[in-house]
Amino acid sequence: MMRGAGSPLALLSAGSGSVNVSSVGSAEGSTGPGAPLPSPKAWDVVLCISGTLVSCENALVVAIIVGTPAFRAPMFLLVGSLAVADLLAGLGLVLHFAAVFCIGSVEMGLVLVGMLAMAFTASIGSLLAITVDRYLSLYNALTYYSETTVTRTYVMLALVWGGAVGLGMLPVLAWNCLDAPATCGVVRPLSKNHLVVLAVAFFMVFGIMLQLYAQICRIVCHHAQQIALQRHLLPASHYVATRKGIATLAVVLGAFAACWLPFTVYCLLGDARSPPLYTYLTLLPATYNSMINPIIYAFRNQDVQKVLWAVCCCCSSSKMSFRSRSPSDV
């Protein structure tokens, strides 16, 4: 199926016209047995560097959560799932660079594109699961800390990773455009139809997150009003805390949208003839989302900061005291 398909990052040629397709970057010319390896362009190197930073950052988060027994609450399981997904995305970018420009393996490049599709899908799915968990912790505050919450968390993780693995396997098993370059989307070897499915799924997730964050803001404001009625006067500090919480939610959702919307819209509008540079310009911000997720969902947490400080001071975190925190604090 892959014979004569060329490099996964190659600029394809169809007849007398040029069909430009990018697969997490670009490389000119075709590679086959005995053919010279393509030379990486500047944006390929930048993507590789971004992948390295993403991998290191999220590996630290995974190590902290796995190595700290206190971090076994459902909220940390979800943050850990997000970190694992982003870690795989970073590794996928680095390995894809090596597969194309160091090894020249079409088959390995195809598998790694599937891995990237799986990792980014799992990352977005984990963000949705975290949003659902935050909402339920406020909506069902009295019953949140129960066995039901733990079971629900495992169910959400199974759904997220099951769907991500399924979407990631599609290009590896059959759904790719290596035999029909004209059907490619902006990221080879993913077909245009495959990218449309991923884009529609993203907009569905984004819409659900918008609705949930709107409900979270409504609940927070309602709680603030109830406290004001009970105390007859709402302290200025509580106003500040409420506004700060809502502003934080806006930053979280805004960062997610700013990182992913350009690439998602481009997947819908672009096709096999779209310039590879545009793919790079829209894909790079998407990788930044995996870079800022640890900052938003892990490093802002005071308990995680304690562990980081203990690691820097070569102290043991087993004797540390961690206060109970709700998902809205994460």
User: What is the chain's alpha carbon radius of gyration, rounded to the nearest angstrom?
Assistant: 22
Tokens at 62, concatenated: 């995974």
pLDDT value of position 239: 53
**Three-point CA angle 68, 74, 75, nearest 5°:** 80
Mean pLDDT of the chain: 80
Tens of pLDDT, residues 97-139 = 888 888 877 788 888 989 999 999 999 999 999 999 988 888 8
Q: In terms of pLDDT, which residue wins out, 263 or 316?
A: 263
Tens of pLDDT, residues 231-276 = 655 555 555 555 666 777 888 889 999 999 999 999 999 888 888 8
Q: Is 24 left (phi over 0), alpha (psi -120 to 50) or beta?
A: left
Average pLDDT over residues 133-158: 84
In this predicted structure, the answer to whether residue 175 has a pLDDT above a threshold of 60 is: yes
Average pLDDT over residues 179-208: 89
The position carrying tokens 């070897």 is 189
Which amino acid is present at 15? G
Distance (Å, whole) CA 4 – CA 21: 16
- Please, which residues have CB within 8 angstroms of residue 251's CB and are 6 or more apart in sequence? 296
pTM over 0.85: no
> Which of these, 166, 183, 187, 203, lies nearest to 267 by C-alpha position?
187
- Please, which residues have CB within 8 angstroms of residue 43's CB and are 6 or more apart in sequence? 25, 26, 277, 280, 284
Distance (Å, whole) CA 142 – CA 221: 18
Tens of pLDDT, residues 34-80 = 567 778 888 889 999 999 999 999 999 999 999 888 888 888 999 99
Average pLDDT over residues 269-287: 88
- Please, which residues have CB within 8 angstroms of residue 282's CB and are 6 or more apart in sequence? 262, 263, 265, 266
Length of the chain in residues, anyone? 330
DSSP-based three-state secondary structure for 69? coil
Q: What domains, with CATH codes, occur in the chain?
A: 39-329 (1.20.1070.10)
Convert 181-223 into a string of H (helix), E (strand) and C (coil): HHHECCECCCEHHHHHHHHHHHHHHHHHHHHHHHHHHHHHHHH
